[in-house]
Structure 1
Amino acid sequence: MGDVDTITDPLALERQVCFALSVASRSVVAVYRPLLEPLGLTHPQYLVMLALWQRAPRSVKELSGVLQLDPGTLSPLLKRLESAGYVRRERDRSDERALAVTLTEPGAALRSRAESIPGAVVARLGMSLDDLVDLHAALTRVIAAAQRP
């Protein structure tokens, strides 16, 4: 087919929002990896912990909604966090059918070690805080638009 002009080609890889988001996501998660390893957390586990540090206990259903993860993806994350001793899953006292996830003492204590992570990520990215706030706002709009029926 030959080379196509990437400036005018609507299918040029470099012009695709999905490609930029995919590469940006992998790249940013890679920035987190060395910061999370000393805590014994993967990036998805870190997101679960962030939600629980914000408020715990939470039901599995609530965590699933907040993190926008299906329960089948969330369950193995919770099992690994429980094995690490950071969370505990138990029947919700107000609804025996629901599972509640709460922080253990070591899980709550881990928060203080994680407090340096956001600043370290900002420093590593070398972007201004204003640019990152703008990026977050733009991505939030993209998420909302993509989820619209």
Structure 2
Amino acid sequence: MNIAELNVGYARYALDDDRIAPFMDNLDRINALAERSPGFVWRMQSDGGNATDISVPGDPDMISNLSVWTDVENLGAYVFNTVHARFYDRGTDWFETMTKPHFVMWHVPDGHRPTLVEAMDRLAHLRAHGSTDHAFGWDHVDMAAFRRCAHGAEADA
């Protein structure tokens, strides 16, 4: 089994606005880093190479990131222990603060590529029931396994 993850949000500015440029200008770099990271399997992307122009069903203003990893540990290492962490920490500079969960993980069979509809259903389940084996957040996993050197990874810069 692999782990799928969905992260959604609303940009504070139009994607061509200078105030969100530090995010947009580094998107290819961060996506390439993910693809080179241990445990990476797949990510949703349009012909342009990212997912910012893929509409979320029922909410065209929402931006999404959907990917599959071999396990939570490798996903967590990428999120918290690479240069990605710098962008993660600045998320509120570019995205609205969400009042309900906006990130979800779930188990998928090897070879499965989840759809955005499937992913949004998992997020809805997390929002309705909290973390369960069906849909969960970071609160459902042992963070110590990959947070021990968070923000210190310069090698991937």
Give the TM-score, by structure 1 length.
0.30
Over alpha carbons, which structure has the higher Rg? 1
Instruction: Name the structure where strand makes up a greater proportion of residues.
Output: 2
TM-score normalized with structure 2 length: 0.29
Q: Which of the two has greater helix per residue?
A: 1
